Amino acid sequence: MKKRVQLLFFSLLTYSVISCSQTDEIKYKNPKYNVNQRVEDLLSRMTLDEKIGQMNQYNGFWNVTGPAPVQGDQAKKYKHLREGLVGSMLNVRGAAQVRAVQKVAVEESRLGIPLIIGFDVIHGYETLSPIPLAEAASWDLKAIKKSAEMAALEASAAGINWTFAPMVDVSRDARWGRVMEGAGEDPYLGSQIAKARVQGFQGEDLSLHNTILACAKHFAGYGFAEAGRDYNTVDVGTSTLNNIIFPPFKASIDAGVKTFMNSFNELNGVPATGNTFLQRTVLKGEWQFDGFVVSDWGSIMEMMAHGHAKDLKHAAEIAANAGSDMDMESYAYVGHLSDLVKEGKVNEALIDDAVRRILTTKFELGLFEDPYKYCDELREKQVVGSKPVRDASLDMAKKSIVLLKNQDDLLPLAKEGVNIAVIGDLAADKTSPLGSWRIAAKDETAVSVLEGLQVYKQNIITYAKGADVALGEPNFITEVQINQNDKSDFSEAKKVAKKADVVVMVLGEHGFQSGEGRSRTKLGLPGVQQELLEEVYAVNKNIVLVLNNGRPLVLSWADKHIPAILEAWQLGTQSGHAIAQVLYGDYNPSGKLPMSFPRNEGQVPLYYNYKNTGRPVAPGKDVVFWSHYQDQKNDALYPFGHGLSYTKFEYSDIKVTPLPEGVEVKVNLKNIGDRAGKEVVQLYIRDVVASVTRPVKELKGFKLVSLSKNEEKSIRFVLTNKELGFYNNQGEFVVEPGEFSVFVGGSSKTVIETSFEL
């Protein structure tokens, strides 16, 4: 205690010496000056070490409301905090905890620069909304924006002012566990969703206490890890980089995103963290991004393992020169950057540039006016888990569900007089529906499917587990142990199924089977669940299969045999209510797949916007020399954009009219079913001949349309150069005249078609 007081006294003394020695006023503390003036003033007062300190980010390191650290890195981190050598921390959460670290930075360090507090608010903070891939399936940009707004509201009340989201990596590979965290396989949909999420998190005014910094990640190419194995090598061509990978990042900048995170992977031989082309030429050069770039966790250090840096100092040199502004947990900048500047290996102007970017966001957040603005414990209590947040999560969950199959209108279920068998470990699970990336959510806080169904009291429900999905209690860090053998509960499940009118089987992946580090080579139902499904089917064919999963699964057997299949992902806190309301028809599903579902693993990576190749069709019967498999079709089982409704929609009268700025496409949409519903009308184009070959179809517009029974609407799209052009291999955006096909429909497959000349 004594030491602490002495230290405080010392830092106050130093502070007053500095302030007295300045001839001018301390502008950075005065809100009457603009952000630039304040940043420059502060920068001019900082030592080199203090500047480098702003580029250093530490993980939370001790229970700050409890005893202080005493040894090792913990003590070092704490010391650094007081010395002004930490610019940001992550994984410190809760108003009280954040207040405690902020207090050290602001009240004990020489210049009192507040910290930015980062956290992975990926799909909510404590109240969870659906995993991002599920939200993408809603194609509902307003709802997605609102979901991000709610996440920001809760997180900011718990002390956080920076989320490491959205993940805007396009991915075509269902083996990659992190597809759950993104918006799927399409750059256009991904860009729209990236914008919605950035706007949702950051709001109109970052200085409000309920908005937080967003972070577009992982720049770049991370979703193209070879063979879907996380962290693996990425080797993509220029056209894919420019036209598929980059657009959602660029869209994030257009939406005003303040931060970027680089990525673990190498891209064409150079780790993204040390990649000058990505960070300086493209991001800060061509795109003029004026926010800052944080490394991924330890990714500066990992350049040694990549074989790109000989030691940590070398890694720091490469990363700083390449444009990584902040070091997350590599200790590389705080340890070596000062020497590197003194040795002339890193120009101090680059350090100033990085620090300027970081400080600017701190001023924009309003942290210099009130460093404790996110640390109101009363607000935290009122906001976290509150009704508006839970309501938004339920709304988003319903919108995220995709009806994959509904033979003979088995769904929706009647609300009375039905004897329902509910089968599956996941049906009663209150933790797994929270999904991966849920660090602040408590276990057992999701509404299970069983609980959701029990709200409808007029039917008889009998539950049988059938088989465990996972063994033990899976967690965020370790590999999930899947039940591969135990079928001892099968017989009970079959007994229950036999007596039922309809069987609701809830099967799929455990919430921790997708996410970071969770790649899979097999995409079927994990463990003994496929066998369970087949055995139950043998006694009762009237099955509704409800899927919980964080990635596309292989569902070929189910598609052939099971009459109704509902894709319910991991829907978060309100999961069970959302699923029950859809099963009973209180909510008519309108979700559409943001990723193609393969027929088998051998097709992966699989995506709708593939290239035609030189040999797209069989030259003749029994001739093999065309682009195909001997043993499987080329197309998806459930294509991108697919999703059914309890009503039916009819498309007709597609018409293209030239406009001064491009073309107008109109189509007629009619609800020909027996209830109101929503349809995602999708517009695709094909640039038939181009200097760089174009995909057979590219999504270029979509509209979420509500129609009551028998209602008809004319749906209008406008295609301008922005939609009709593409990036050539010199990185230039070009629009080439010639023939374009236009397709409109309710999926990437079911479409009506026309064409026009540009």
> Annotated catalytic sites, by residue?
296
Smallest distance from ligand NOJ to CB 18, Å: 35
Structure tokens at 326: 């902040």
Smallest distance from ligand NOJ to CB 598, Å: 25
Structure tokens at 266: 């190498």
Pick between residue 77 and residue 697 the one whose CB is nearest to ligand NOJ: 77
d(CA 71, CA 78): 10
Q: 285-314: which residues touch ligand NOJ (CB under 6 A)?
A: 296-297
Q: 584-623: which residues touch ligand NOJ (CB under 6 A)?
A: none
Sheet with 292-294: list strands edge to edge. 215-219, 259-262, 292-294
Q: Which residues pair with 421 in a beta bridge?
A: 462, 503
Pick between residue 90 and residue 580 the one whose CB is nearest to ligand NOJ: 90
**End-to-end CA, the chain:** 76
Extended strands (E) in 277-316: 292-294
Smallest distance from ligand NOJ to CB 192, Å: 21
Smallest distance from ligand NOJ to CB 437, Å: 9
CA angle 716, 256, 251 (to 5 degrees): 45
- Between the alpha carbon of residue 588 and those of residues 200, 250, 402, 416, 566, the distances in Å are 26, 34, 10, 18, 12
Query: Are the C-beta atoms of residues 514 and 569 closer than 8 Å to each other?
Result: no
The identity of residue 139, as a single letter, is W
State yes or no: residue 333 binds ligand NOJ (CB under 6 A): no
Smallest distance from ligand NOJ to CB 90, Å: 6
Which positions ≥6 away from 661 have C-beta within 8 Å? 718, 720, 721
Pick between residue 132 and residue 701 the one whose CB is nearest to ligand NOJ: 132
State yes or no: residue 120 binds ligand NOJ (CB under 6 A): yes
Give the pairing of strands 215-219 and 259-262. parallel
Extended strands (E) in 209-267: 215-219, 259-262, 266-267
Phi-psi region of 605 (alpha: psi -120 to 50; beta: other; left: phi over 0): beta
Smallest distance from ligand NOJ to CB 95, Å: 21
Give the pairing of strands 162-163 and 733-734. unpaired
Smallest distance from ligand NOJ to CB 298, Å: 8
Site string for ligand NOJ, 189-228 (x = CB under 6 A): ----------------------------x-----------
Smallest distance from ligand NOJ to CB 281, Å: 23
Pick between residue 78 and residue 297 the one whose CB is nearest to ligand NOJ: 297
Position of minimal CB gap to ligand NOJ: 164
Which positions ≥6 away from 508 have C-beta within 8 Å? 426, 469, 525, 526, 529, 547, 548, 549, 553
Query: Are the C-beta atoms of residues 131 and 167 closer than 8 Å to each other?
Result: no
Site string for ligand NOJ, 227-256 (x = CB under 6 A): ------------------------------
Smallest distance from ligand NOJ to CB 523, Å: 22
Pick between residue 297 and residue 649 the one whose CB is nearest to ligand NOJ: 297
Sheet with 662-671: list strands edge to edge. 649-659, 662-671, 712-720
Pick between residue 437 and residue 726 the one whose CB is nearest to ligand NOJ: 437
d(CA 657, CA 693): 25
Structure tokens at 94: 């809760």
Query: Are the C-beta atoms of residues 755 and 739 closer than 8 Å to each other?
Result: yes
State yes or no: residue 646 binds ligand NOJ (CB under 6 A): no
Phi-psi region of 139 (alpha: psi -120 to 50; beta: other; left: phi over 0): left
Pick between residue 266 and residue 687 the one whose CB is nearest to ligand NOJ: 266
Q: 671-690: which residues touch ligand NOJ (CB under 6 A)?
A: none
Burial of 397 (0-12, 13-18, 19+ CB in 10 A): buried
Query: Are the C-beta atoms of residues 623 and 661 closer than 8 Å to each other?
Result: no
Pick between residue 283 and residue 665 the one whose CB is nearest to ligand NOJ: 283
Pick between residue 517 and residue 725 the one whose CB is nearest to ligand NOJ: 517
Sheet with 116-119: list strands edge to edge. 162-163, 116-119, 88-90, 56-59, 327-328
Smallest distance from ligand NOJ to CB 755, Å: 42
Smallest distance from ligand NOJ to CB 135, Å: 17
Q: Which helix (H) or strand (E) holds 721?
A: helix 721-724
Burial of 620 (0-12, 13-18, 19+ CB in 10 A): exposed
From 61, 139, 164, 597, residue interacting with ligand NOJ (rule: CB under 6 A) = 164
Smallest distance from ligand NOJ to CB 164, Å: 3
Pick between residue 120 and residue 135 the one whose CB is nearest to ligand NOJ: 120
Pick between residue 224 and residue 651 the one whose CB is nearest to ligand NOJ: 224
Which positions ≥6 away from 195 have C-beta within 8 Å? 141, 251, 252, 254, 255
Closest CA to 581 of 568, 564, 597: 568
Smallest distance from ligand NOJ to CB 152, Å: 16
Task: Report DSSP letters for 575-618, one per residue.
Answer: HHHHHHHHHTTSS------SSPBPSSGGG-S--SS----S--S-
Closest CA to 413 of 539, 570, 581: 581
Q: How many residues bind ligand NOJ (CB under 6 A)?
A: 6
Pick between residue 380 and residue 516 the one whose CB is nearest to ligand NOJ: 516
Closest CA to 663 of 752, 737, 747, 734: 737
Site string for ligand NOJ, 15-54 (x = CB under 6 A): ----------------------------------------
Q: How many CB atoms lie within 10 A of CB 616?
A: 13
The stretches of 255-404 forming alpha helices (DSSP H) are 276, 302-305, 312-322, 332-342, 348-365, 377-383, 387-400
Q: 513-532: which residues touch ligand NOJ (CB under 6 A)?
A: 516
Pick between residue 334 and residue 558 the one whose CB is nearest to ligand NOJ: 334
Q: Which residues of the chain form contacts with ligand NOJ (CB under 6 A)?
A: 120, 164, 217, 296-297, 516
